[in-house]
Amino acid sequence: MTEESTTPAAPVIQKRWWLPSAVADELDPGASRRSRRTARDWAVDFCAFALAALIGFGGNRSVGHLPGVPDTWAVADQALGVLSCVALWWRRRWPVALAVAMIPIGLVSNTCGGALVVLLFTLAVHRPFRYVAWVAGIQLALTPLYDWLRPDPTMSYGASVAFASVVILSIVGWGMFTRSKRQLVLSLRDRARSAETEAQLRAEQAQRLAREAIAREMHDVLAHRLTLLSVHAGAVEFRPDAPQAEIKRAAQVIRASAHEALQDLREIIGVLRTGDAEEPGRPQPTLAALDGLVAEARAAGMEVVLAHEVAEPERVSASMGRTAYRIVQEALTNARKHAPGAPVTVRVVGGLGSGLALSVRNPAPVGPVPHVPGSGQGLIGLKERALLAGGELDGGPVPGGGFELRARLPW
């Protein structure tokens, strides 16, 4: 079974037109064209231009009421107001530069007041607070000077300064609120993508763990069966003149082992097809099945001694019993492959509260033993089994020759 691991694709924005272009670009990073105005941007730009023109028109009318202002300066004020409104077209691209440039212009021009308001709001929306703080702070500091140079005839000096300060702070607060809402949307997007990625990783990890469990089960079961097949088929091949009874017994063992291997293989293939590792199938081996495992090994010609000294074995859990069974099964398979003909001693002791201890020991084989491919893979799987059960497993050569496998499982 092969399965391609794919990274979650970024969602495609279906209604990009009603989002601000800055938000739409962040939500749809795979878009072919970036920084293109959406329909919402066009509507907002039109309203911003109309608002700036309306405020500028009101400011231009007040220029005519200022004493000592020549007509040429009134015309220059209007020109500055028109240019400021035109500059709003680039307010999203260069908000800091335009806002800074409007500070000296706003000090000498009444008509550009509307453009100054729009640029300050844009700066608060599109840039961090430190830029807004500097520009707004400078404007607040220059407000008393502006009202002193161009006093409003309809209100007092203090009221005019206070009103202008409230307007500046309100615009900054509104822009920062809009920016915080956009950042919240983007952060929720990031959290959703992160959750989707984590969910996919968890699913892939669960699939990998299930496949590893199935691979261990296949190795533990089929290796035992196929080893029996190999031993008896080799005996029949090298001793064609053996008594008819021995040949018949070997053929029966080969037939029974092949049948059991096919049954186990069908069960594992069924799990792979359904994808449900917990689907009930053949009964799983438990600690009580050790006697049958040893009897099967003896029937195959092995000399096995079983010391079963477990208090209240019926209270052993199914998972721990299955782990103990697989450990002994793999140990007998390794002894049959690496020490053919050597006697094997299996010892299982323990009780509730003290844990379950297993040891499988065999002396050194008599004569040379051919190399067996894939040696060591079964022990790696057994160590993983023992660790998953909360226990430990180790093994190695013993003094005087031979090999011993030891495991301890919590109970």
The span from the CA of 105 to the CA of 359, in Å, is 91
Tokens representing 79 are: 């020109």
Phi-psi region of 393 (alpha: psi -120 to 50; beta: other; left: phi over 0): beta
Question: Which residues are CB-contacts of 124 (< 8 A; sequence separation ≥ 6)?
Answer: 132, 171, 172, 174, 175, 176, 178, 179
pLDDT in tens, the chain (411 residues): 344 444 444 444 556 655 666 666 666 655 545 557 777 778 777 888 888 778 777 666 666 555 555 566 667 777 887 888 888 888 888 888 888 888 888 777 777 878 888 888 888 888 888 888 888 888 888 888 877 777 776 778 888 788 888 888 888 888 889 888 888 888 888 888 888 888 888 888 877 776 776 676 666 666 666 776 776 676 666 667 777 777 777 777 777 777 777 776 776 666 555 555 444 455 677 888 888 888 888 877 788 888 888 877 788 887 788 888 888 888 888 888 888 888 999 999 988 888 889 999 988 887 776 665 555 566 777 787 788 778 888 888 888 788 889 999 888
Count CB-CB contacts under 10 A for residue 311: 11
Using DSSP bridges, classify how beta strands 403-409 and 392-397 pair: parallel, antiparallel or unpaired.
Answer: antiparallel
Helix axes 318-338, 290-299, angle to 10 degrees: 20
Using DSSP bridges, classify how beta strands 403-409 and 344-351 pair: parallel, antiparallel or unpaired.
Answer: unpaired
Q: What pLDDT does residue 19 have? A: 66
Amino acid found at 105: I
Q: What pLDDT does residue 8 have? A: 46
Phi-psi region of 355 (alpha: psi -120 to 50; beta: other; left: phi over 0): left
Q: What pLDDT does residue 277 have? A: 47
The span from the CA of 341 to the CA of 174, in Å, is 88
Count CB-CB contacts under 10 A for residue 117: 21
DSSP 28: -
The span from the CA of 271 to the CA of 116, in Å, is 70
Classified as helix, coil or strand, 228 is helix
What distance lies between CA 146 and its chain's CA centroid? 57
Q: In this structure, are residues 122 and 92 in contact, taking their beta carbons and an 8 Å threshold?
A: yes
Question: Which residues are CB-contacts of 395 (< 8 A; sequence separation ≥ 6)?
Answer: 379, 403, 404, 405, 406
Please report how many Cα atoms fall inside a 13 Å half-sphere around the Cα of residue 313, on the Cβ side: 16
**What is Dmax (Cα atoms) for the chain?**
134
Q: What pLDDT does residue 311 have? A: 79
Strand partners for 404: 361, 396
